[in-house]
Amino acid sequence: METYDVIIVGAGPAGTSTALHLQQLAPELAERTLILEKSRHPRTKLCGGGILPDGLRILQRLGLDFNEVPYTRILRAHFEFDGRGTALTGEGAESLHVVLREDLDAWLARKAQERGVTLREETPVRRIIPGDSFVTVVTADGEYRARVVVGADGAHSVVRRAIAPHQRVPYSRALVLWVPPEPESSSHAPEDAYFDFTCIREGVPGYIWDFPILVHGQPMRCWGITDNGVGPHHSRPLRPLLAREMARHGYRLEDYPLYGESVPHFGVRNVFSAPGVLLVGDALGVDFLYGEGIAPALGYGQLAARAIVDAFAEGDFSFRDYRERVLQSPLGQVLRRRALTASLIFRLRHPAMQRFFWHRLGQHLRTITERYLTNWA
């Protein structure tokens, strides 16, 4: 049986970031690290691809040049309710960037390999078996064992199911699709991003988004709707709401392939770790205010790598302080604040209260966002 110090399950941003941070903190450990990925890069990932500046900061500190990835820079992002709201602007690295996930993830995986980490693709992990000295990782092609296993295998994590079989956490649901640029009749500006929260009024605690994206060099738009699952009306059909909004901008939803996904919420009571096992990224849970998970996945990688390096230094693989490390970190504090904010905002169902929030308080959105809800990196 092949034995490694660290096995990372999943080569999405959380997994590759863990590997890249391990390489930065302890290169000798990274040489004895294996990433197991069920697909082969470049692989599709259902995602809007919007990265907030925190993500770019993490990449920069890893010495990676984000300009190597094709992206669209969003200079203005509109947050609206009932056709009115506020627009946030950003410049340079401080703006929202949008990538095609297959481009970003393949690039990150290549960087991890170039820096000495072994990546084995098309190797789905079936289950893990924690033990006293090693964790056994069972794949379709055989078994491996490692001192530490990192569950970076996304929303439907096999690793999470192994260490928290009875955990029930709320999920967000989302629909997403890619369409050609908007017809001229649309009121949306081609270079801007839109987040429309009007669906809260109709019992969907979430928003409809529309932003530009480059798909294999072609300018397209990414549309989608998310139901963040806060409050009692968690089963309202999303498709009619998205179809109606897209029709206002000249699209027929039925003309395009539509994809759906669900993601578990981040919560302080979630299982974060077990002896020899850590969870990162969507495997641990995603923010349910914005549904933003790429930059946090990169941030989790840094926290997990530190915890692993310390575990090897101290010979203690219990990871009993990992939850506290995450919660006390700037990323963990922001995720907790977002959870609180989501619980407040999405419960304000009355349109008058929503209008008051978005139309009157909208001008304070930038301050609230910058001070409390982002800038953790």
Ligand X SMILES: Cc1cc2nc3c(=O)[nH]c(=O)nc-3n(C[C@H](O)[C@H](O)[C@H](O)COP(=O)(O)OP(=O)(O)OC[C@H]3O[C@@H](n4cnc5c(N)ncnc54)[C@H](O)[C@@H]3O)c2cc1C
Q: Distance (Å, rounded) from C-alpha 156 to C-alpha 214?
A: 27
Range in contact with ligand X (rule: CB under 6 A) among 45-53, 163-171, 185-193, 245-253? 45-53
Q: Does 182 bind ligand X (CB under 6 A)?
A: no
Q: At closest approach, how far in Å is the CB of 97 from ligand X?
A: 10
Considering only 18, 23, 29, 38, the residue that binds ligand X (CB under 6 A) is: 38
* Token duo for residue 80: 């609206």
Question: What does R_g of the chain's alpha carbons equal in angstroms?
Answer: 21
C-alpha distances (whole Å) from 221 to each of 171, 181, 214, 276, 295 are: 26, 6, 8, 42, 21
Checking phi first, is residue 63 left (phi over 0); if not, alpha (psi -120 to 50) or beta? Answer: left
Nearest CA to 70 out of 41, 92, 31, 101 is that of 101
For ligand X, the closer CB: 206 or 276 = 206
End-to-end CA distance of the chain: 39
The beta strands (E) that lie in 84-123 are given as 84-89, 96-99, 118-120
Contact 82, 351 (CB under 8 A): yes
For ligand X, the closer CB: 120 or 306 = 120
Considering only 21, 23, 37, 354, the residue that binds ligand X (CB under 6 A) is: 37
Considering only 7, 30, 36, 289, the residue that binds ligand X (CB under 6 A) is: 36
Considering only 148, 213, 286, 345, the residue that binds ligand X (CB under 6 A) is: 286
Binding map of ligand X across residues 206-225, x = CB under 6 A, - = no contact: ------------------x-
For ligand X, the closer CB: 196 or 292 = 292
SS3 175: strand
Q: At closest approach, how far in Å is the CB of 224 from ligand X?
A: 5
Q: Does 282 bind ligand X (CB under 6 A)?
A: yes
SS3 329: coil
Considering only 4, 7, 8, 10, the residue that binds ligand X (CB under 6 A) is: 10
Q: At closest approach, how far in Å is the CB of 124 from ligand X?
A: 4
Q: Does 49 bind ligand X (CB under 6 A)?
A: yes
Name the residue with the smallest CB distance to ligand X: 293
Considering only 174, 179, 241, 277, the residue that binds ligand X (CB under 6 A) is: 174
User: What's the longest Cα–Cα distance across the chain?
Assistant: 64
Q: Does 45 bind ligand X (CB under 6 A)?
A: yes
Nearest CA to 14 out of 55, 44, 70 is that of 55
Q: Does 301 bind ligand X (CB under 6 A)?
A: no
Residue 296: is the preceding peptide bond cis (ω within 30°)? no
Considering only 115, 261, 302, 334, the residue that binds ligand X (CB under 6 A) is: 261
Q: Does 125 bind ligand X (CB under 6 A)?
A: yes
Residue with tokens 């979430």: 206
Considering only 12, 85, 212, 229, the residue that binds ligand X (CB under 6 A) is: 12
Contact 175, 242 (CB under 8 A): yes
Q: Distance (Å, rounded) from C-alpha 356 to C-alpha 76?
A: 22
Q: Does 177 bind ligand X (CB under 6 A)?
A: no
Interaction site with ligand X (CB under 6 A): 9-15, 36-39, 45-50, 124-125, 152-154, 158, 174, 176, 224, 261, 263, 281-283, 286, 291-295, 297
